[in-house]
Amino acid sequence: MMLLPHLLPLVYASNTFTNIDNHNTPTITTATNTATATISTAATTTTTLREFLMQHDDNHDGSSSSSDENENDDAGGVYLAMAPAFFGFYGYFGALGGIEDALFPVVSVPVPAAESIDEENDKDEYGNTISLLIKNNIIKGVSGASSGAMAAVLLAAGISPNVASKFVSTLELKHFDDWFGLGSLMKGDKFESLMHDFILSSSPIIINKNDNSNDSDNSNNTNSITATIPKRQRQLQLHFEEAYIPVAISVTDILPNYGSTATSTGTLSLSFWNPWSYFYASLPKPKIIKEGPMSRAVRASACFPGLFQPVGWIDYYTSSNRYNGLKEIINTKSATIPTATTNSNSNSNSNSNKIRVLNMVMGGFGTHPHGPLEMTNELFSSSESQDSDHSSTTSIDSVLSLSIINLPSCGPFSMSNGPIAINAAKNVIRDIMDRPIQSMPIMMPSSSSSSINENNDNENDDSRSGSSHHYFLEIDASSYY
């Protein structure tokens, strides 16, 4: 199949939000670096961005759980979804760097050396630091599309957003200008090579360092994750399966499978008597990638139509096409922080059935940000669910919809604005980290227009909606640069 970034406006993109400027929603505007709330349909709460990120699971007042066995899960943390935005990775890295700096105002700590590493090989060839957002379980899983996918993959590889910010700040057009690809301005090979080299040089993940170069197979490999990856590929690539946290990205398949096509009513087989099946099968379709080489997946999701040529991909992961992989990372059994050589995202996450989502976009939201009930209904109540046991017990408890608008315009011919956008996004986050955030009305996931205000929990007959929280932040960054 051939892949392009997931940019179709009629398909859900990172929690249904595409990069459309719309200022009819409540906003937090800024003047001289002072956030001033402008409230129309939302109410100010005492919850802050810091509290949302750090609060204990299933507990909205930030108090500690008394259970020792759930200590790691109760330490807080969110699932992060990042929407497509043209060259928006500058803003994403800046915002994530601002969060990391605000929560942990210290330098990253060394990754513990694994006991199985030989003394002569104890130097970490891929770097010696890990993002504190990952190490401290602030981000439990990450998904994204386009530039959001680039940020998602690097974060899942353990790379600090501040390190990624420094890297992208040095990029110029000459670094990936392999001109004239198939129906595009550039091929994208140089971009993939650039991402490959950066991931391998900056990720603290250690890949199978005990492998003997003379081994002809990986039959004796004790790592169940890397054992499924061919030895030669392990030496050349970092794979999704080796990430510190579950990660999934959304792309568009422009050459979908012609064997059969899925519709809302089931599977539609190709038939001479059903010409609609041929037409439907030929349409580009969203795909979720959660397995395979990271650098190529980043290229696939970032190859903007007309700018980079489509990317060939085999052995892709087929699943629900909604929410940019959010469903996949939630249903994936996630880890806390693994050791370097036993890196795996296979530990159970069953202790926490109510989860929190940070939905981030560089740009404005659409008509309105989807809240916890809408997301829960969309992700876990559909017939497409692959994990019925998990989906029947999991609900999205709280959502924070975070939008940063009016960052400097960035593109292939205006990359000099990138460092400015990074600093602006970082300063925005630092400034609003401890300010009260907005509370949105809880929208019922039905065709009716009725809404439930979370401030009136006692009047709500639906216990799920009464305990759900939808927070909203839209920050104008124009005064930060």
**Which tokens belong to 380?**
């876990």
Position 130 scores a pLDDT of 87
Which range, 233-237, 253-257, 305-309, has the best average confidence (pLDDT)?
253-257
What is the model's pTM? 0.69
Please say whether the beta carbons of 236 and 270 come within 8 A: no
Beta-carbon count within 10 A of 467 CB: 18
Beta-carbon count within 10 A of 106 CB: 7
Least confident residue range of 111-125, 229-243, 284-298, 321-335 = 111-125
**Mean pLDDT of the chain, nearest integer:** 66
404 beta partners: 362, 475
DSSP output for 399-426? EEEEEEE-PPP--TT-GGGHHHHHHHHH
Say if residue 248's pLDDT is above 60.
yes
Number of domains making up the chain = 1
Beta-carbon count within 10 A of 464 CB: 16
CA distance 358 to 35: 20
CA distance 294 to 309: 18
Which backbone phi and psi does 279 adopt, to 5 degrees? Answer: -65, -45
Please say whether the beta carbons of 256 and 283 come within 8 A: yes
- The domain in which residue 70 lies consists of 2-480
Position 173 scores a pLDDT of 82
SS3 state of residue 301: helix
Q: Which of 176, 185, 144, 189 is nearest to 311 (CA)?
A: 189
Say if residue 78's pLDDT is above 70.
yes
Residue range 131-157: average pLDDT?
A: 92
Burial class (CB in 10 A: 0-12, 13-18, 19+), 413: exposed
DSSP output for 10-78? TS--TTT--S-----S-EEEEETTEEEEE-SS-EEEEEEHHHHHHSPTT-TT-PPP--STTTTGGG--E
Position 452 scores a pLDDT of 31
CA distance 421 to 404: 11
CA distance 25 to 472: 9
Q: Which of 260, 284, 322 is nearest to 3 (CA)?
A: 284
452 beta partners: 442
Least confident residue range of 109-113, 150-154, 221-225, 293-297 = 221-225
Residue range 264-288: average pLDDT?
A: 62
Position 158 scores a pLDDT of 93
Percent of the chain residues past pLDDT 70, beyond the cut: 47
Within 8 A by CB and 6+ apart from 27, the residues are 38, 405, 474, 475, 476
CA distance 455 to 440: 10
| Residue found by looking up tokens 């360092």 in the block | 209
Residue range 48-72: average pLDDT?
A: 58
Q: Which of 124, 132, 116 is nearest to 244 (CA)?
A: 132
Position 271 scores a pLDDT of 53
Which backbone phi and psi does 314 adopt, to 5 degrees? Answer: -125, 160
- Residue-wise pLDDT for 382-419, tens only, equals 434 444 444 446 778 889 999 999 999 998 888 899 99
Least confident residue range of 47-51, 226-230, 452-456 = 452-456
- Total residue count of the chain as it appears in this document: 481
DSSP output for 235-269? HH--BGGG-SS-EEEEEEESS--SSEEEETTEEEE
